[in-house]
Structure 1
């Protein structure tokens, strides 16, 4: 009899533990909301810098918000899929992957310093080079790209050229520079015929490359690239999605919140977003035969 009582006690204990664990993992209780980030700068510094946003969001929502920083965006995507992350700040390619794999939903897109929710890549050539007057003229030329995983420095420029009928593997000599500034430097040095960078890298690196504006000219632009997203897990209730969306918009409109977003994350506000805004990402991935899981 004592043996059966002991077994019953153990079973009851396990049942209680299972119920408690289930409640802990059930994000619908809303005891804590986990906010995922991909490192935009030094990882340790980012973990510390997220704290002001944690506090402001907790106040706005009336729910404790806790930050989670992954080593790369795949960690946040996986967290959204498993329910361990409730919402996250992730790049557009990461959003498309999260939406495809676990129905994650975009609710906001960040604004840049120009107040826009998107940006473009540019193709630069030397101002003195009269042999290149159109993007089609890049056939047979040396072109500096930033990195194979760079959205604005390779994927979008590459897809744009592919859309014009140019095959990167056969029609262009691809040079990987390792950075937007390095691609610009290769062009200024005369090592390549053209370079791809974000618009306008020449302003960003004006102190490093004085006269770059005069020495180079824009040959063309890519399609617009959506900025970083705020994405929620696919199982999140629409009411909570709306509350998070409204809270971030309110923070961005406040003086304290706007300054924090600008200083810490280089974000200048948010605009409401929908899934269709990211169809251009899907098309680019298709044109470039991109495995989204392998993008950083």
Structure 2
């Protein structure tokens, strides 16, 4: 991401999106096809981004509105963590989960869940991890050029053609990963916690695929957070670091010259945002209606758009799920499962 904001608030959003749906009615009670009958209620398992009274205030009107528009009772259940959302779906304690990308993968693999929506932040459903350096002479094929990070209106330096000079940066990977081959033995590389997709997992996989021994071939410099990954390079504590695109915007006060001192020279494979998955037990027509309603929620009113952004940091959902990105994420997670 950008930082993984995607993970902390997806859950509460589930209710938000469903709540903004248009009117719908339950299939006739005397239907002869039991497979198409809608349940009297569904439960959404989520990890909220708010707590206590704020949580109740945020969710109660949304679940009520959702229930009225779907014509069935919609309940929200708070999960202790993202893994718990998967188990809730697997035991049928929940039929809808709003969760992170890793949990989406586990739900589809273990319980045959259906991925129906992906989270959208600033127009994107995924983000790259960026390789940063303070030594462009070593890692750049040409002099760094400036491009604009539109979300903040800040100009930042890029090289190896990963961005177009003078244009808005797009942060699309993978790009220039062969430049990682220039990391020599003993190079100080700042890495975040092993659970961080952008700060550790995707960069380590990319370095390994470039022939780098990430255990013995580099000097790992442990850092906490994307801002500190950038500062490690800015301050000379490491020659290379990794963080979400574009983490340099988080340190402009501490390092006002970060655009010149820290150059982005490569992008990893794209890291997917989280999203929404549903149980295979739900009728197909309910899933279709649910998907449509959630997909359209952000555009349903100014209030809906504000609620989505303020509550969970999302700008939209999309039914363009890009399942292959989730699959790739699962493959990378498997390399760090132990």
In the superposition, the TM-score normalised over structure 1's length comes to 0.80
Q: CA deviation at 1:236?
A: 2.2
Per mean C-alpha deviation after superposition, the further-off stretch among 162-171 and 85-94 is 162-171
1: CA distance between counterparts of 2:181 and 2:67?
52
Runs ≥4 in structure 1, deviation > 4 angstroms? none
2: CA distance between counterparts of 1:91 and 1:107?
13
Determine if the alignment matches structure 1 residue 239 to structure 2 residue 252.
Answer: no
Equivalent residue for 1:201, pick from 219, 241, 247: 247
Is the partner of 2:139 in helix, strand or coil? coil
- The answer for the alignment partner of 1:266 in structure 2 is 313
- The answer for the alignment partner of 1:166 in structure 2 is 212
Cα gap change, 1:123 to 1:276, in 2 (>3 Å): closer
Structure 2, gaps ≥5 residues long: 1-36, 141-178
Q: CA deviation at 1:170?
A: 2.3
Q: CA deviation at 1:84?
A: 0.5
- The answer for the alignment partner of 2:261 in structure 1 is 215
1: CA distance between counterparts of 2:110 and 2:313?
29
Q: Give the RMSD, CA atoms, in angstroms.
A: 2.2
1: CA distance between counterparts of 2:213 and 2:54?
39
- The answer for the alignment partner of 1:21 in structure 2 is none
State whether residues 47 and 67 of structure 1, in contact with CA within 8 Å, keep that contact through their aligned partners in structure 2. no
- Output one character per residue of 1:94-143: Cα deviation in whole Å (capped at 9) or x when no partner: 11111121111110001111x111111101111x5523342112232111
Determine if the alignment matches structure 1 residue 58 to structure 2 residue 67.
Answer: yes
2: CA distance between counterparts of 1:44 and 1:176?
34
Is the partner of 1:168 in helix, strand or coil? coil
2: CA distance between counterparts of 1:35 and 1:162?
39
In the superposition, the TM-score normalised over structure 2's length comes to 0.71
Residue correspondence of structure 1 range 45-84 to structure 2 within 5 A:
47-48=55-56, 49-84=58-93
- The answer for the alignment partner of 2:329 in structure 1 is 281
Cα gap change, 1:198 to 1:30, in 2 (>3 Å): same
Per mean C-alpha deviation after superposition, the further-off stretch among 30-39 and 73-82 is 30-39
Is the partner of 2:194 in helix, strand or coil? coil
Equivalenced residue count is: 260
2: CA distance between counterparts of 1:131 and 1:277?
31
Q: CA deviation at 1:150?
A: 1.0
Equivalent residue for 2:128, pick from 98, 120, 123: 120
- The answer for the alignment partner of 1:137 in structure 2 is 182
Answer 1 or 2: which has greater helix percent.
1
State whether residues 270 and 325 of structure 2, in contact with CA within 8 Å, keep that contact through their aligned partners in structure 1. no
The higher radius of gyration belongs to 1
Cα gap change, 1:281 to 1:137, in 2 (>3 Å): same
Q: CA deviation at 1:277?
A: 4.1
Q: CA deviation at 1:29?
A: 5.8
Equivalent residue for 2:100, pick from 91, 95, 102: 91
State whether residues 80 and 87 of structure 1, in contact with CA within 8 Å, keep that contact through their aligned partners in structure 2. yes
- The answer for the alignment partner of 1:157 in structure 2 is 203
1: CA distance between counterparts of 2:214 and 2:54?
36
State whether residues 45 and 78 of structure 2, in contact with CA within 8 Å, keep that contact through their aligned partners in structure 1. yes
Q: CA deviation at 1:221?
A: 0.5
